[in-house]
Every structure is written in structure tokens, then in C-alpha cells.
Structure 1
Amino acid sequence: MLDPYIAFMLGLGIVVLLVAWLPLALKSVPLSLSIVCVGLGLGLFGLGWLAFDPDPRTYDTVVEKLCEAVVILSLMGAGLKIDRKIGLRSWATTWRMLGIAMPITILAVTLIGIYGLGFPVAMAVLLGASLAPTDPVLAADVQVGKPGSGEEDEVRFALTSEAGLNDGLAFPFVHLALVIGLAAGTPGGWPDLSDLGGWLLVDVLWRVGAGIGVGWLVGRGLGWLTFGRGQANLSGTRDGLVAIGATLIAYTLTEVCHGYGFLAVFVAALVLRDSERNHEYHEALHDFSEQIERLLMMLVLVLFGGAITTGLLDSLTWTDGFAALAIVFLIRPLAAWAALIGSGHPARERGLISFFGIRGIGSFYYIAYGINHGDFGSSERLWAIAALVVLMSILVHGISATPAMRWLDRTRT
């Protein structure tokens, strides 16, 4: 019988090797790393090799913090690998997805939550806010390539930039759910004008503005430290660990200012990349942040697979299942397609952008954050529906991403 500590070290070593090897092994097959991770969790926990119950409803604070770490690392990597300079016209597809598709998705999921699932308004808004943003962590197969690689067609660019920004921009609606939930316990049962005004001024205008502003300042400062100090700059170290420092600095300074740290990390990465756009050091920064992100992502998804085997989906009803199908296969595709009307992109590009609205670890984070900071009552069905949506997305998008991107590339040659 192995000592538990030795068994843990052995398992960690195996996981690290898998994190390094699996992306290469799966590159030519219609199977994603996330599917393998969930399957590994199903096997390990289903066979009883790991005895504890990784139910997120029990460890909601741990889930929040762990998912938070994965997302911010992913956002740094996503910002660093975008070659296109930010602008109103050059990012027009992104602005359409954020300004049209995302609000439509939040509203539609909220209405399904209220009228289809019987959720209170606050819980329905939390569900909509959590499932609206696409995931920067699990969407690697449909995102742009490494910095300077040239793998940045409109589909890959749109999906990368959308995922980078909409994780931060979903936060105001999570806070709206908290405001509605708090008012539900008052005699009127609904937020008054002062509550909504406070939400608009603080949770929308200030927090979004602080996220963008602090992210820009941190990106500028890090750009000077990295590329602008002669031979003593950070780029001379060739050390990818700088990406982790940049991520933590941008995130924590923004949180101190009560802004949205997710937004700040992505903005800081974009500004840092813009400081010296073609420098080869960006690849080292991106690669290191991606490696740490994959390791944490694998941990989260293995635990997710384990949670499924120990009853995470047990509270689902047939209605919940139909709602999840609608969210994955109807609401996101139709909302995105509507947002891209008049964009001038070919139908095949609009179709792929619309279909690959991948849900994942960001959704887990928002559900955990909302539950930890508000009072929504029993969260069993809320977690179960969110988990089912993420599982569907992992399976459907994970299997279809590789052949879909290959087909897109062939149509251009």
C-alpha cells in the first residue's frame, strides 16, 4: 500500500506529463484535452481510486478561487497571442459579439430560468450571467495561434477576443443578480431606483472603467519594464515566469481599486503586447502562462468529472435537460448570428463563430462567486444545469473543433 503522500506525488507527476504530451497526441484527432480530463475524472472517481467527494456545492469557496486562478492565467495568454491591434474597425466583430450577442444571451437564458425552470428572478439572472460568456480556458482549439504565428483568421480572432473580454463584462450582471437577490428579502421584494442607480454607477461604470484603466496602466508599466529599459529590461531574462507576475499584479491592483480584475488582466496583456509587438519574448510569456493554465485546467476538469460520478447532475429534470440543450444549440448560435448580420463575413465564418460559444470554467467561477456573495437559496439545480451545459459544450465543441477548423482552413486554400 502506497503512502498517501507518495501516491499524491506519483499522481502529480503523471498529470504533469499528460499536460505536456496530450496536446500533441490529440492534435490530429477530433478529441480535446478537456474531454480526456473529464473522462479521467470519471474513471478515477467512478472506480473508487479517489475517496473524497469533489462536489462544488460543498467546496464552493475552493471552486471560486481555483477557477479564478485558471481564468486569469488564460486571459493573460489570450491577450498576448492576439496579433491584431485593437481598434473600432479592426475589432468590429468583437464589439458586435459583446454588444449584441452577449446581452441577448443573458436575457434569453434569464427568461428560460424564470419561465421554463421556475427559478426566482435573482437566480435566473445569475444563471444567465454565468452561462453567457464564452470560455477562454477550454477554447484553445478554436483560438488564434502563438504570438506572431500568423494563425489569426477572422473566426479564430473573434472567438479569442470575445472570450478575453466577455468574462469581465459578465460581472455587472452577476452583481445585478446579487442586487435583486438582496432586495427579494425586503418588503417590496424588488430593487428600488437607488439600488439600480448604485448598481449602474458602481458595478457597471466604475468597475468596468477601473478594470480597463488599471489594466492599461499596468500594461504600459510592464511594457516599459520589459522592453524599454535598455539591457536591464525584463525581456533580457527570457523567463516566462514574468507572465505570472504580470497577471497577479494587474489582477490584484484592480481588485484593490474595486474594478473587474478579469478585464484588467486581458487589457494589460493587450497593452503589453502592443509595447513591442514583434518581440520574440511574447512567445515565452505566452507559453509559460499556457503551461500553468493547462495544469490547473486539468485539475479542475478531473475534479469536475469526479463530481459528476458523485451526484452533481442527480437533481436534473427533463425540463432542465431541454433548457441546457436550448442554451448550447439555440440561444448562443442564434444570438451570435443575429449580431453578425451586416458584418460582411461569409456565411461559413458567421456560422462557426456562432456555433463555438464554448462554456466552461468561467461559468463555474461565476456560479460559485454568486452563491458565495449572495443568498439564492438551494443551489443544487443551479449547479446541475450549469454543469450539464458545460459538459455538453466540452463534448460537442471538443469533438467538432478540430475538423471544423480544418474545414475552414481548406476553404481558404
Structure 2
Amino acid sequence: MPAHVIEVDLSKVSKSLAVLGGFIVIYGLLSYVVKERLYLSEPLLAVTAGIIVGPYVLNWVDPISWGNTQETNYVTYTFTRIVVGIQVLFCGISLPKAYLWKEKVSLIVLLFGIMTTAWFATALLFWGLIPNLTFLESLCIAAAVIPTDPVLANSITTGRYAEKHVPANVRNIIVAESGANDGLGFPFLYLAIYLLARTGEDKSSSVGTEIGRWVYAVVGYQILLSIVFGSLIGYLARKSLKWAESRSYIDKANFFAYGLGLAFFTLGTTGLFGSDDILACFIAGNSFTWDDWFRIRTEDNDFQEIIDTVLNMAVFVYIGAIIPWADYSDPELQLTGWRVVVLGITVLLLRRPPWVIAATKAIPALRDLKESSFAGWFGPIGVGAVFYIQVALKQLPDDGTRDRLRAVYTPVVLFMVFSSVLTHGITIPISKLGPGVMRRTATLTKTRSITFSRPISRNNTIQVSNTINDANKQRQGSPEDGSAFDSSDPGRGAASSRGSSRGHVGTAFGAKK
């Protein structure tokens, strides 16, 4: 007779699944109230849950104890890489027809001018407030926090509140920027790392040598090659899917899941030859829907929203659980509470908003100071920053010359992520209590037409009547809806009511219209 009749599994995997599943189930029961009435973001609640169940409160889940530091870092790197890759590809899919080309001037300013300025401004803050860091080391940390997170940006670009109060042109440019610049953080990070290597393993190399190495290895091989490869993958995927759909070779479920498979394929193949897989995913997604064919046919399907919800909750619960709160009271690190709090506030205020506002006239997608203020503020720091932590730790010199940088990198960046999740997560609820920039954006489109359609909404409500009413208001140009469309707008077909797109899907798969 066995010694134990009943065997229990108290493994870390079982506990983690129980905690994550419990959070998703409980949140799901209240999700409509939380998102559409309280206007709280999923990442904020997930990070809060992660902190509560993590090692510093209930100690139910402790990812740091799953293995040694190297193993934990690898898990974090892989997890965040997959999440960011899927999210940026979905960002590319959600943009209107040929959007990257139509708004190329705005994107060039945001992705090169604003990112570069934000990089130096953030580095100055780190250099001034974190003891015993060189400016070059501060640039290395700043490179992790300058990309705009697509997951957090999604909370202001989709949903009923966004559709009523945020103009479609603002939503689209935020989505495009957040999708593209997550992959464009590599040049900034690697430039700092290559220059740092001159004091370590590459002592004999000159600045010119390292910059030349950066140009061909990063700008050429990682950035330009990933753009070409992503464009090619997206183009071939679009043609292949059209061919299969026209011959009824593909069923409905796999048609909708095609984008997710494309994300995995792009991540894997680009990673095999060491190029920028995150940027390749975004380019592949936009190339895939360059003609709006796939996007229009999937507007009524909730598959992407379901994937978003599960991934977002899982990754932000994980992030909440790995924030090293003990490091902020460690006298050796000198990251005292007031330093990181001041850093969090100043980075959010000075990293983006002043520079986007100053460049308003150079960004055609933003028509006035109110829109540029809004777009400048909503440039959150999130999963991409956690991903770049792991990239930096893998690439930094490990010869003892950068021990200080390696020690403070993770706690500093994770606190910036926490600050952004908290601040951007409560901005909308606070704005509902009184007049603010987001409330005033409702008036921006009362007398103007929108040039491009809004990105696909992944926050549909269960109440069909509300959707129909909102669509009718858009057709009539009702001032109550913040995105009234002009009837001559070429992008209106993709942005107005979803009834037309439902007809397309029904025709393709024999569903009822």
C-alpha cells in the first residue's frame, strides 16, 4: 500500500498557474466595470496583483527563486521578447492602409528626433541622480526606457473612452510610434555598449572603430535588414493568405489566428540570423495589412483581444513580482527612496512631453498643442524596457569594469516601469474628476474631419446596442463622439461602423451577414 494515498503538487508551476488563473478569473468577472466605468488599465491592476502575491507581501510567487540569476534573466528575456513581438505585430496590423508611408514625416520626427532628444534628456537625469555613474553608463540605462510601450499605449488608443475622447489621428500615431520604436531602441543601447566596451575588453579600439562597428553591425545588419526582411515576410504572408482564402483552403479559426502565427514565425526566423526581431515583427504586421484587406475582415473578431488580455495580465503580474523593492533601501546601491521617486517623476515629465510639444509643427499627424501634449504624455514605459534590461545585461562587459552599472540597471529600469504603469494607469480616472487635457480632446474633432481611420479596437463591449449607437453617431458626425468623420474621408471605410467588415468575413466564410 502506498505511503500517501493522495499526492499534492505544490510546485512553483502549480502555484504560479493558480495565482495567475485566479487573477484572470476574478478580473474577468468585473472587467467591463473596471475598463468602461472606472477606466482603470489592465497593466495597473496586474502589476498591483504581482506586487501583492510576490515575495515582498504574500510570497506566493517568487520568480527570482525559480533558478539562479542567469536562468531567471533568460526566462524574463524570452517571456518579454514573445510578448513584445506579438504586441508590435498587432500594432502593425491595426494601422490603416499604407499608414507608415502616409505619415512618414511624423514618424521620422518621432522615431529619430524625439527619441534621440529623450535619450539624452533621460540620461542626464540618471547621471545627476544616481551616484557613481558615468554619463556613458547613464546613456546605456536611458536606452532601455525611451521606447514607447505598445501594451500600455493600448489602454488609451482603444476602448469606448478613447473612441469618444481621443481623435483618431492621435490614436493612430501613438500606435504607430509605440510599435516601431520598441525595435528602434537597439541602436541607442548598442551605441552606448560599444563605447563602454572601449574601457573593457576592447581597450585598444578607438571611438571611430566602435562607431563604425555600430554602423554596420547594428544600423545595417539589425535595423535595415530587419525592415527588409519584415516587409518581405508580411508581403508573402498577405499574398499567401489571399490565395488560400480565395480557394477556400483556410477555415475561419485559422484565418483569424494567422496573425499570431506570423508573429511567432517572424520572431523565430529573424532571431535565427541575429537581426532585430522586434522591429521585423512590426514591419511584417504593417506590410501584411498594407492594403487593409486582413484588418477589415478581422475587425469584428475578438481573437487578438483575447491574446492581448492573457499576455498582458501574465507579463505584468510577472513584472510586479520581480520588482526588487529591497534594492531601494540597500546602502551599497545608494538607490534611496527619494532618488528613485524623483527619478520616476522627472523622467515621465521630461523624457517626452516637452520635446513632442516643441516639435508640434514638424509632426503633421498632430495638428495643435493639445494633441501634441496628449501624445507627448502618453509615451509609457513598459514591457519593452524589461526586455532591454536583459539585452543590456547580456551585452555589457563582464570583466569587472561595469559592476556598478550592472548592479543598478535592473532596479532603476523596473522602478521606471512601475512609475509609468502607475501614473499612466490613473491618468484617465483622475481626468474624469475634473477638466484636463483628455477631457478637452473631445472638442478637437467637433469641427474637423479625420484623415486616417482609427486603429482596430480590441476592447469591444458585450452590449451590442452601444456599439450600434456609437457607429450611428460617427456616421452623423455627432459632437458627442470625439471622432466624427467627414463623408469624403478616404479612410472612413475602415474606421466607421463595423457592419461592413462583418459582411466581408461572412462572405469569405459563408457566415450569416
TM-score after normalising by structure 2: 0.72
- The answer to whether the 8 Å contact 1:216/1:271 transfers is yes
291-300 or 150-159, larger mean C-alpha shift:
150-159
Q: Give the SS at the match of 2:133.
A: coil
Q: Of 48, 53, 65, which aligns to 2:58?
A: 48
Deviation, 1:211, is 0.9
Aligned equivalents of 2:420, 2:284: Cα separation in 1: 29
Question: What amino acid does structure 2 have at the position aligned with 1:199?
Answer: W
Write out per-residue CA displacement over residues 367-412 of structure 1, whole angstroms, 9 at most, x where no aligned residue: 1110122234243322222122211111111111464655423543
Name the counterpart of 2:425: 398
Is 1:272 aligned to residue 288 of structure 2? yes
The 5 Å alignment of 1:48-87 reads: 48-50=58-60, 52=62, 54=64, 58=69, 59-87=72-100
Q: Give the SS at the match of 1:240.
A: helix
Name the counterpart of 2:46: 37
Is 1:111 aligned to residue 144 of structure 2? no
Name the counterpart of 1:362: 384
Gaps of 5+ in 1: none
346-355 or 182-191, larger mean C-alpha shift:
182-191
Write out per-residue CA displacement over residues 108-134 of structure 1, whole angstroms, 9 at most, x where no aligned residue: 222333344342344322212111111
For residues 49 and 124 of structure 1, do their structure 2 counterparts lie closer, same or farther at Cα, with a shift above 3 Å needed?
closer
Deviation, 1:104, is 0.3
The 5 Å alignment of 1:329-408 reads: 329-343=349-363, 345-375=367-397, 376-378=402-404, 379-401=406-428, 403=431, 405=438, 407-408=440-441
Deviation, 1:292, is 2.7
For residues 335 and 190 of structure 1, do their structure 2 counterparts lie closer, same or farther at Cα, with a shift above 3 Å needed?
farther
Aligned equivalents of 2:223, 2:38: Cα separation in 1: 40
TM-score after normalising by structure 1: 0.88
Higher relative contact order (CA 8 A, sep 6+): 1
Q: Give the SS at the match of 1:124.
A: helix
Aligned equivalents of 2:181, 2:303: Cα separation in 1: 23
Deviation, 1:195, is 2.0
Q: Give the SS at the match of 1:29.
A: coil
- The answer to whether the 8 Å contact 1:109/1:327 transfers is yes
RMSD: 3.0
- The answer to whether the 8 Å contact 1:227/1:275 transfers is no
Name the counterpart of 2:148: 134
Q: Of 12, 24, 33, which aligns to 2:32?
A: 24
Q: Which has the greater radius of gyration?
A: 2
Aligned equivalents of 1:136, 1:23: Cα separation in 2: 20
For residues 289 and 278 of structure 1, do their structure 2 counterparts lie closer, same or farther at Cα, with a shift above 3 Å needed?
closer
Gaps of 5+ in 2: 1-6, 432-436, 446-478, 480-513
Write out per-residue CA displacement over residues 173-232 of structure 1, whole angstroms, 9 at most, x where no aligned residue: 111122123211158587432221011122012211111111011101110121133224
Write out per-residue CA displacement over residues 302-345 of structure 1, whole angstroms, 9 at most, x where no aligned residue: 23323347525434233443233221112311122223234461
Q: Give the SS at the match of 1:137.
A: helix
Aligned equivalents of 1:306, 1:127: Cα separation in 2: 21
Aligned equivalents of 2:380, 2:238: Cα separation in 1: 31
- The answer to whether the 8 Å contact 1:223/1:275 transfers is no
Q: Give the SS at the match of 1:133.
A: coil
Is 1:207 aligned to residue 234 of structure 2? no
For residues 382 and 47 of structure 1, do their structure 2 counterparts lie closer, same or farther at Cα, with a shift above 3 Å needed?
closer
State the number of aligned residues. Answer: 410
- The answer to whether the 8 Å contact 1:81/1:144 transfers is no
Aligned equivalents of 2:324, 2:270: Cα separation in 1: 38
For residues 370 and 278 of structure 1, do their structure 2 counterparts lie closer, same or farther at Cα, with a shift above 3 Å needed?
closer
Deviation, 1:144, is 5.0
